[in-house]
Amino acid sequence: MTDLMYLNSKQRTDILGDIKLTLDDLGLRKERKKNNLIDKNTASKDINIEKFKKCIIDASATISIVNSPDNISLEVKTFLHDKNISSPIAIIDPQLFDEIDGHGLNITNEYDRNDITVSMTKAWMAIEETGSLIMKSCPRNPTSLNFLPDYHIVILDRNSIVHNMNQVWKELRESKKSLPRTINIITGPSRTADIEHTIQLGAHGPRSLHVIVI
């Protein structure tokens, strides 16, 4: 192991030293210029939920908008019924579990990665411009819940939709907490076009993604 570490630090010095020499010798170092376009004029405008909806649908996901958390379970029931699914919904977030519990849905708070057909998770934020959902990993929100199931249901608070990705980064910087291990920016279900350019959903991750906006 010490040999390895020695080797690593030698290679590091070699590579960085080489780059430093080149940049200084050739006089390549220059100050950074400002970008022309940093998402101007968007911050003040209202979120256009119709635009968001269209982007979600364009990305082959589905979306429904409900007025109160009480209506979530009805939405979910319809969704599962349409897809003919009877498997339990994995919900690890205790708060979300409590909200959904007692409304006649088959749910489980057990995390068994070998057996997840449907999952329900909460989005931290979303992006209007592209219809993307932002998921932050934490003990209540394991990343794999976004990828293992065949059917993924996401609950999104309407007030947490922002215009663009840079606003997500801004929020992240302002929250002053250390970064979560994973931030997923999810736009539609999993897909592949590797075979004869045919787009096929459900490559490894969810075959379908349903967003419920409150």
Least gap, CB of 82 to other proteins (angstroms): 19
Q: Which of 6, 23, 70, 158 binds other proteins (CB under 8 A)?
A: 23
Q: Which two tokens stand for residue 161?
A: 């939709």
Within 72-101, the residues that bind other proteins by CB under 8 A are 92
The one segment of 10-18, 41-49, 76-84, 98-106 that binds other proteins by CB under 8 A: 10-18
Residues 6+ apart with CB under 8 A from 128: 47, 48, 51, 52, 55, 161, 162, 163, 164
Q: How far is it, in rounded angstroms, from Cα 32 to Cα 207? A: 43
- Among 2, 26, 45, 84, contact with other proteins (rule: CB under 8 A): 26
Choices 13-21, 63-71, 77-85, 94-102; region in contact with other proteins by CB under 8 A = 13-21
Stretch of residues binding other proteins (CB under 8 A), selected from 42-50, 75-83, 94-102, 145-153: 145-153
Nearest distance, CB of residue 30 and other proteins, angstroms? 5
Residue 142 as a binder of other proteins (CB under 8 A): the answer is yes
Cα Rg of the chain (Å, integer): 22
45 is a site residue for other proteins (CB under 8 A): no
Q: Cα separation of 127 and 106, whole Å?
A: 30
At residue 211, the 3 state secondary structure works out as strand
Hey, which residues between 98 and 137 contact other proteins (CB under 8 A)? 111, 113-114, 130, 132, 137
What CA–CA distance (Å, rounded) separates 177 from 158?
A: 23
Let me know the angle formed at the C-alpha of 166 by 160 and 170, rounded to the nearest 5 degrees.
Answer: 70
